[in-house]
Amino acid sequence: MPQLKGYHRPGNIDEALALLARPNINSTVIAGGTHIIPNLSDAVDEVIDLQNVAGLAQVKQVGHQLILGAMVRLQTLVEAGQMPALLRAAASLEGPNTLRHAATIGGVVAAPHKESELLAALLVFEAEVEVQSGGGRKTVALPNFLRDIPSALNGGIITVVALTTTGKTAHARTARTPTDRPIVAALARLADDGQMRLALCGVANTPVLIDPANVKAGVNPPGDFRGSREYRRQLAATLSQRVITEIAEQN
């Protein structure tokens, strides 16, 4: 743990951005802190805690879109009735109850875990990430955000994660135990426009969207002690077919 020189808990987003933009001070933003704090770099001078920033913990339904403030806790996703069932199930797999009461949806996006089924669920729900900076606000599609997080943030702060909630969904996973991170997981959603969106965990550095028609050709997973590259590739194909078939069989 580095020897921090400062800790700040701003009350609004403008104050947080002003703190982050100070020259010659290496600051980092924390939300729930469940990922950042255990992995805090020795180069960090000060932390900016977003817990008191007004408006970041709101949940709103606007038509078919669900608007989640970046500080919405994962346990809120598990418990809130308006959440899609797939999102609630995926949030429950992010960790134990104690972690879910602290961890936030913004943190899941900002510090992505390669086997996060919640992040995969956001991908199939066409999530968009709103980033606010001194230059204003911008909205970035989640796949683009994950492709280059430093460029997407560029001195800004995640304020909103928005997703489309309609459509049919399915979820299949293989793990050592029911509560472990998956070796491979497949999550799919058939949108109202007829497009099938398929996301996989455990085949790349982050969960990724894959062409449902070319799963094996589209993945080149790493191997580890839980399974070889070829084992994961085969799991990806099998689980993908399973969720696609399950959606086709839904009424």
Predicted pLDDT of residue 58 = 94
Residue 240 pLDDT > 60, yes or no?
yes
Question: Residue 193 falls within a domain, yes or no?
Answer: yes
Q: Mark which of 164, 183, 216 sits at the end of a domain.
A: 164
Our count of domains for the chain comes to: 3
CATH number at residue 109: 3.30.465.10
Instruction: Kindly state whether residues 123 and 79 are assigned to the same domain.
Output: yes
**In this predicted model, which residue has the larger pLDDT, 87 or 82?**
87
CA-to-CA dists, residue 221 to 20, 59, 205, angstroms: 36, 35, 9
Residue 45 pLDDT > 90, yes or no?
no
Predicted pLDDT of residue 80 = 87
Mean pLDDT score across all residues of the chain: 93
Instruction: Kindly state whether residues 19 and 67 are assigned to the same domain.
Output: no
For residue 4, report the phi and psi dihedrals to the nearest 5 degrees. Answer: -70, 145
Query: What confidence tier does 2 reach under pLDDT thresholds 50, 70, 90?
Result: low
> Nearest-CA neighbor of 170 among 141, 197, 194, 201?
197
Question: Residue 212 falls within a domain, yes or no?
Answer: yes
Predicted pLDDT of residue 1 = 56
Q: Mark which of 105, 133, 164 sits at the end of a domain.
A: 164
User: How many beta carbons lie within 10 A of that of residue 56, not counting itself?
Assistant: 23
Find the mean pLDDT for residues 59-63. 92
Predicted pLDDT of residue 41 = 77
Instruction: Kindly state whether residues 173 and 213 are assigned to the same domain.
Output: yes
Query: What confidence tier does 142 reach under pLDDT thresholds 50, 70, 90?
Result: very high
Encoded tokens for 138: 């911008």
Long-range contacts of 77-80 (CB under 8 A, 24+ apart): 77/105, 77/118
Find the mean pLDDT for residues 60-79. 95
Instruction: Kindly state whether residues 111 and 91 are assigned to the same domain.
Output: yes
Domain of 34 in residue numbering reads as 6-49
Find the mean pLDDT for residues 160-170. 96
Residue 241 pLDDT > 80, yes or no?
yes
Find the mean pLDDT for residues 31-40. 78
Instruction: Kindly state whether residues 184 and 222 are assigned to the same domain.
Output: yes
Question: Residue 54 falls within a domain, yes or no?
Answer: no
Instruction: Kindly state whether residues 147 and 217 are assigned to the same domain.
Output: no
